[in-house]
Amino acid sequence: MHRFANPARFLQIARPLTGWLFWSGLLLLLIGSGCGLFLTPADYLQGDTVRILYIHVPAAWLGMAGWSGIAIAALMQLVWRHPLAAVAGRAIAVPGALFTAICLLTGSIWGRPTWGTWWEWDGRMTSMLVLFFLYLGYIALAHASARQGSGGVSPVAAIFGLVGAVNIPIINRSVVWWNSLHQGPSITLRGSSIDTTLLWPLGLTLLGFTLLFGGIVLMRMRAILAHNKIEARMQRLARG
Amino acid sequence: MNQWAFVVGAYALTFFATGLISALSWRAMRVSEGRARQVADRS
């Protein structure tokens, strides 16, 4: 990992990778969504609302994966002082928060015709809402440390990122630990309870959204690194 | 209750938000890298 600690070496890889991740992700996402909307049959119980699954599940995955990324970046920042870790943490925060919000909103839209309610204070939905608030707190802390002149995030924000990771297993196990309107885990290591005629487009949208997310994070990392470069040069010029 | 209205609403929201963050991130990257090049050329 320390091989990529040099921003110049990182940018050599990130520049071509950004476009590849973004465009391949977008293509897979569009194909998967098109197939999910028009090729798969309606569910015998949920009807056509089951099609929301193809965007809701990837959004939930990215919300949780995003915070896991922040926690790993925080660990690398605090333990190994990896110079790009703080930049990565800051770059993940806004897209992570956005996909958590998409997960909450699409879940709510799915819940109205399926459960008869927009919202229920059950374990899964509440813990996901807590994740969204954690993101907002992290973004505020990261923004404050950026204004103080640090390129990435402060150690306080990194510690917040690590502590907030405790919510990830709670979200994952919430449907097992508490009685919930939300269904139990549909996809596990042992297999899936979703029929394959409905399941296959989910693989496409999951991969598509993940690649797209990677592309967006790289764009934001490149923006932060370029901004840091400007700041450093301006300070050098000011000193004469 | 027309189920397709909920499906279309969910997809429209997701694609709008994803498009917006993609466009904003791309613009931030282009603007920052352009400025960094300008500053490097000047000094």
Residue B7 burial by Cβ neighbours in a 10 Å radius (0-12, 13-18, 19+): buried
* Cα separation values, A221 from A152, A201, A208, B27, Å: 10, 30, 20, 13
A42 within 8 A of A50, measured Cβ to Cβ:
yes
3 state DSSP class of A186: coil
Backbone angles phi, psi at A116, to 5 degrees: 85, 15
A63 within 8 A of A131, measured Cβ to Cβ:
yes
Q: The pTM is what?
A: 0.92
pLDDT digits over A123-168, tens only? 999 999 999 999 999 999 998 877 666 566 788 999 999 999 999 9
Quote the Cα angle for A202-A91-B18, to 5°: 40
pLDDT digits over A49-98, tens only? 999 999 999 999 999 999 999 999 999 999 988 888 989 999 999 999 99
Task: Name which of A21, A28, A38, A49 to mutate to probe chain B: the one with the most chain B Cβ atoms within 10 A of its Cβ.
Answer: A49
- C-beta atoms of A226 and B32 within 8 A: yes
- How far is A10 from A169, CA to CA, in rounded Å? 31
Enter the ipTM: 0.94
Could you say which of B7, B36, B39 has the minimum Cβ distance to residue A49? B7
- C-beta atoms of B36 and A226 within 8 A: yes
pLDDT digits over A180-236, tens only? 778 777 777 777 777 788 889 999 999 999 999 999 999 999 999 999 888 888 887
- C-beta atoms of A106 and B28 within 8 A: no
